[in-house]
Amino acid sequence: MEDRKDIEKIMLTERQIHNKVVQMGYEISKKYQGKDLLLVGILKGAFIFFSDLVRSIDIPLAVDFMAVSSYGNETESSGIVRIMKDLDDSIEDKHVLIIEDILDTGHTLNYLLKVLNARKPASISLCVLLDKYERREVVDIIPEFTGFKIENEFVVGYGLDYAEKYRNLPYVGILKSSIYDD
């Protein structure tokens, strides 16, 4: 693939991701058995993780999506979040599980949790594929489900982008710094 030349190193292979997603689906199915589960995918980054994850969950569920954008440059989160697309339906009395690609500083999810908690869900939890724990600024954000804890490197692929590119790579790779340094 043409984009492969911009990747320094593959961090997580397709197989590693697949195995983890199957395991996470199993855990989620167990935890939410008999509950009214709503999975909320955060666009755009979570779209591939989300679509794989739902197929690994074998209890009834509903899906909805939100799109948010944070002000700031391409690789740093500013902490100011804007809702570009809100949920279609009420989450009142539902067990909400937010599905996000990556937890970095925590500002995006912190803001989303505040907004969604005000809508009176029965419960609200987080499920993230990647956790860049060293970068956390909002310390009380603790996901219920985490795929991989990763080092502080800018990664792309499997839904994650740099300037809207690389989302279609089937693995998670470290982007060459020369791509975003200039």
Q: Which is nearer to ligand IMP, 30 or 149 (CB)?
A: 149
Residue 41 contacts which entry, ligand IMP, Mg ion, none (Cβ below 5-8 A, type-dependent):
none
53 binds, among ligand IMP, Mg ion, none (CB under 5 to 8 A by kind): none
CB of 161 to Mg ion, least distance (A): 6
**Partner interacting with residue 104 (select from Mg ion, ligand IMP, none; CB below 5-8 Å by kind):** ligand IMP
Report the distance separating Cα 40 and Cα 83, nearest Å.
Answer: 14
Nearer to ligand IMP, 16 or 77 (CB): 77
Task: List interacting residues with Mg ion (CB under 5 A).
Answer: 45
CB 96 within 8 A of CB 41: no
Active site residues: 104
Contact 10, 177 (CB under 8 A): no
* Interaction site with ligand IMP (CB under 6 A): 45, 70, 77, 100-108, 154-156, 160
**Shortest distance in whole angstroms from residue 68 CB to ligand IMP:** 8
Q: Which of 162, 155, 158 is closest to 180 using CA atoms? A: 162
How many residues make up the chain in this entry? Answer: 182
Nearer to Mg ion, 41 or 121 (CB): 41
| Distance from C-alpha of 113 to C-alpha of 95, rounded to nearest angstrom | 13
The partner in contact with residue 155, picked from Mg ion, ligand IMP, none with C-beta cut-offs of 5 to 8 angstroms by kind, is: ligand IMP
Looking at beta carbons only, is 8 or 36 nearer to ligand IMP? 8
Non-local (6+) Cβ contacts of 25 within 8 A are 53, 54, 55, 56, 57, 58
Q: Rounded distance, CA 129 to CA 152, Å?
A: 15
